[in-house]
């Protein structure tokens, strides 16, 4: 097995980061905004919403190494995770009042 040099790793990382940012902007951010509107209006997240959140959390865990190698993206990750956390917390609050 050959070792990957830092430049190759960095180029590959940047490709992954760009793909993740594009997916976020085109797919996940619109869904997150829709979910935020849903929970803000008192509705509960459905199974598809919850499945997406589970996937987002798994993806975030898998990206930890990438973010550690590129700390310049750490603030974006923190803001994105805060957004998802707020959606989850509001859904939990709605579920308590829905009983």
- Domain range enclosing 75: 46-99
Write out pLDDT tens, residues 73-94: 999 999 999 999 999 999 999 9
Residue 24 lies in a domain: no
User: Do the domain assignments include residue 69?
Assistant: yes
CA distance 88 to 94: 10
> Is residue 96 a part of any domain in this protein?
yes
Tokens 């993740």 correspond to 20
Per-residue confidence at 7, pLDDT binned at 50, 70, 90? confident
CB 39 within 8 A of CB 45: yes
Q: What is the pLDDT of residues 29-74, one digit of tens each?
A: 999 999 999 999 999 999 999 999 999 999 999 999 999 999 999 9
For residue 98, is it within any domain? yes
- As a whole number of angstroms, the distance between CA 97 and CA 48 comes to 21
pTM for the whole structure: 0.85
Residue 66 lies in a domain: yes
Is 73 contained in some domain? yes
């Amino acid at each position: 097995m050959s070792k990957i040099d830092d430049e190759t790793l960095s180029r590959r990382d940047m490709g992954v980061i760009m793909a993740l940012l594009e997916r976020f902007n085109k797919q996940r951010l619109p869904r997150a905004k829709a979910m935020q509107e849903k929970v803000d209006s008192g509705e509960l997240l459905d199974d598809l919403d919850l499945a997406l959140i589970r996937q987002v959390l798994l993806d975030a865990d898998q990206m930890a190494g990438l973010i550690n190698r590129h700390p310049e993206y750490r603030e974006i990750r923190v803001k994105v995770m805060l957004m998802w956390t707020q959606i989850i917390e509001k859904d939990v609050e709605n579920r308590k009042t829905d009983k």
